[in-house]
Amino acid sequence: MIDRSLLALLSVEPISGVLLAERLGISRSAVWKRIQHLRDAGFEIETKSGQGYFLKHPVEWLDQQRICNALDAMAKKQLGDFHVAEQIDSTNSWAKSETKRKAGIDVFLAEQQTAGRGRLGRQWVSPMAANIYLSLRCHFNKGLPALSGLSLVVGVLLAKALRAYGFDDVGLKWPNDIYVSGNKKCGGILIEVAGEANAEINAVIGIGLNVSMPAHFANNIDQAWTDLRQYAGEKNVSRNQLLSALLNELLPGLKRFEDEGSSEFLSHWPEYDVLLDQEVKLLDGIHQHIGRVLGITGQGALRLLQDGAERHYHSGEISVRPLRTI
């Protein structure tokens, strides 16, 4: 359970330990312990000499009502169940286990994940009330091959929403990473599917977006990362507003993908492609392929130019090779 009452007191203006103790009806040492607890959970609580404790970034809790009120008619039409948890192991795992109650695309959100999962068995660092941890559960009935390109389509939808929100520098790194400002990852997509290869498929689309990563959690991230707050300038990034903006793209977009396929979405990939023309190394299982990125195919495979020949790859992990010095 998180300490909402203490967080509320710290959100207004700096407040002394004495006053906090009085307001909460506890001792000063109990206040200090509760402050430590919040700091361990990732809340950045600072002190101002002579005035007391305050929260560096005010907390904005996820608010289902607010998110849904800002959905447009097209998104509302596709929306199924809407779940928000304070703490969960992983929203993807939750989406796979929860019973479905109504038609449409189901939304699963959490303030915190205790076992957030990234691609390739990595952990996804998921501190409390800081970022977006979202899973969408969708039902498709055209079989597995019809889902090829889905993760790239989701990337394009997210990038479009983020640009419209004001992050002009958003980019996509094939196959699943969301970038801002060229070379740092601020989000990723993890899709898990279950069902009959040629018929009904349940897909869980997991989206992690770093909004305001507390500094001390960043030590656990094993790749170059960033968060949206760093690119927002003076503007405060509201997770609730951002979620409405993302769902306004994703919910109708996924329906369109189901009806019409991926090609129209993938035609927008070049507008966001951070790898285009870069010399890269693609790690595909134990195989390593080096070449220059030419873009993606109509099906979403990566096009690499290797020794004068073009080859296509459907999976793998890319690292950009440093420029050679001469």
> Which chain residues interact with ligand BTN by CB under 6 A?
90-92, 113, 116-119, 122, 124, 133-135, 176-177, 188-190, 206-208
Q: How far is the CB of 184 from ligand BTN (least distance, A)?
A: 13
Active-site residue flag, 34: no
Closest residue to ligand BTN: CB criterion: 188
Which residue of the set 117, 160, 173, 185 is catalytic? 185
Compute the distance between CA of residue 228 and CA of residue 273 in angstroms, rounded to an integer. 18
Which residue lies nearer to ligand BTN by CB, 6 or 178? 178
Which residue lies nearer to ligand BTN by CB, 20 or 203? 203
Which residue lies nearer to ligand BTN by CB, 118 or 253? 118
Which residue of the set 119, 255, 292, 311 is catalytic? 119
Q: How far is the CB of 91 from ligand BTN (least distance, A)?
A: 4
Active-site residue flag, 119: yes
Q: How far is the CB of 147 from ligand BTN (least distance, A)?
A: 17
Is 147 within 8 Å of 193 (Cβ atoms)? yes
Q: How far is the CB of 198 from ligand BTN (least distance, A)?
A: 27
Active-site residue flag, 102: no
Which residue lies nearer to ligand BTN by CB, 10 or 95? 95
Q: How far is the CB of 16 from ligand BTN (least distance, A)?
A: 38
Residue 71, CA distances (Å) to 79, 147, 245, 247 in order: 10, 26, 8, 7
Q: Which residues pair with 180 in a beta bridge?
A: 170, 184
Which residue lies nearer to ligand BTN by CB, 91 or 240? 91
Q: Give the active site residues.
A: 119, 185, 321
